[in-house]
Structure 1
């Protein structure tokens, strides 16, 4: 992905991009969380309950869904990262760590690269359910496939989202931004550049066909610092039933 200077959004404030269930003005650092394709900031809504009070949790709310439903969708990873990085400015008054699951892992990684370029690197990057970004895609693109093929791909990932989409009304409402996100990640191309200078923790489900141990290990190629790889029981959405273990891993890494 070609990295550019942050783009001017001219539209949404940092609070719109990074909502939180609980503000912690005296927290020593912030954890900024990037949802998966089709996800919203709500997936991380309860994380603050289990993490240390020294950590303020904020989720990225992508345009075109939830309370940003009226805003245009963004299907280009470089543009998304530019807008996220610009909006993040007021949150950089203290150290930040980044967490991303699936598509969110790629956006968190590219945001870490952008922050590195700006001289404000994150203290830690957590990537979940995603092979290393330099590995070419193996799956056939489905963003523009017919509904039946697209639904089959969603079900193959596991989780609850596909079951919810069995409702035609919900499907009509959500398919545009779910397909948009698949297009974003399917069109993503990794570009060579300086390695990160922060530790990276790689998490994945041991039954996730999209992330092999070799795929996870290759995250070591994108940073000069320590990389920890841990597989937990489960499929692509292992982090839902294994949330306590994921949050414990984050707490340990940021302690």
Structure 2
């Protein structure tokens, strides 16, 4: 769970991000005219859509290597950070998932993969449940560095003082330590982090049917937050195929060294036939 430096540099993020007509989704790279599939990514606590920018380039390379049709990759931008900095943050994970679901649902006219890291994995799971309830379930759910939803712990990180939050950032190693020396950066980033931990730590799993979509759980074997058995517990939350991948030597933010591997995994997944377009049709999601 990272203090996303992009939160402190929203202007720079705006220069390199292709905005969509509504604030919840960001696109990195060109928009395919006829995407074969879509990948929607959900950020970790304290993070923003910009955390997934390196994956966009890796995915473009992987589609050429695997000779798959073009993927349209988008990332969810939660309120209260980066270019949404002045919007009210959402401190209830169910509400966050519901609002993200409304933004993502029109994208399900193409095979849809959801990817979430840490807190984002739980948000992605809740969005997947809502999509399946609506009859537009995802083709695949990828969860990274996250407890299974019925095992989410309340570690009371949200109740720590600012020094305690900074210590958590140091422990998870997701933030350049040099950024933590700047009071202006911390003044902007720590309230976002605290709100996200509030959403995650007060979340309570709602029992229900397991997903039918395949689920892949990813974890680093040196993750100080989530261990391998906790990641493996995601298997109980799907009736579809389940795969567990453990990355050796990987801490909580192991993905930063494995974007090409992750992109290849996305492209290797078999895709169902596209659905009939929803009504109203999917917006152009213009640049």
TM-score (norm 1): 0.90
1:68 equivalenced with 2:84 (yes/no):
yes
1:16 to 23, 36, 57: 23
**Structure 2, unaligned stretches of length 5 or more?**
1-19, 64-68, 272-287
Change in CA separation of 1:85 and 1:14 when aligned onto 2, cut-off 3 Å: farther
**Runs of 4+ in structure 1 displaced over 6 angstroms?**
none
**SS in structure 1 of the partner of residue 181 of structure 2:** coil
Which protein has the bigger helix share?
A: 2
Relative distance call for 1:179 and 1:162 in structure 2 (3 A) is farther
> Which residue of the partner structure matches residue 45 of structure 1?
53
- Counterparts of 1:1-255 in structure 2, within 5 Å, are 15-21=22-28, 22-51=30-59, 52=63, 54-137=70-153, 140-160=155-175, 163-233=178-248, 234-254=250-270
Q: What value does the CA root-mean-square deviation take over the aligned residues? A: 1.6
Deviations 1:128-186 (A, max 9, x none): 0002111141x621112111111111211112255423311100111111111111111
Instruction: Give the TM-score normalised by structure 2.
Output: 0.80
Q: Residue 239 of structure 1: SS of its match in structure 2?
A: helix
Aligned residues: 242
1: CA distance, partners of 2:173 / 2:236 = 29
Q: Is the 8 A contact 1:14 1:90 kept in 2?
A: no
Greater relative CO (CA pairs within 8 A, separation 6+): 2
What SS class does the counterpart of residue 56 from structure 1 fall into? strand
| Structure 1 unaligned regions, length at least 5 | 1-12
Does the CA-based 8 Å contact 2:219-2:228 persist in structure 1?
Answer: no
The separation in 2 between residues aligned to 1:45 and 1:74, in whole angstroms, is 23
* Superposition deviation, residue 209 in structure 1: 2.7
Q: Please state whether the residue corresponding to 1:16 is helix, strand or coil.
A: coil
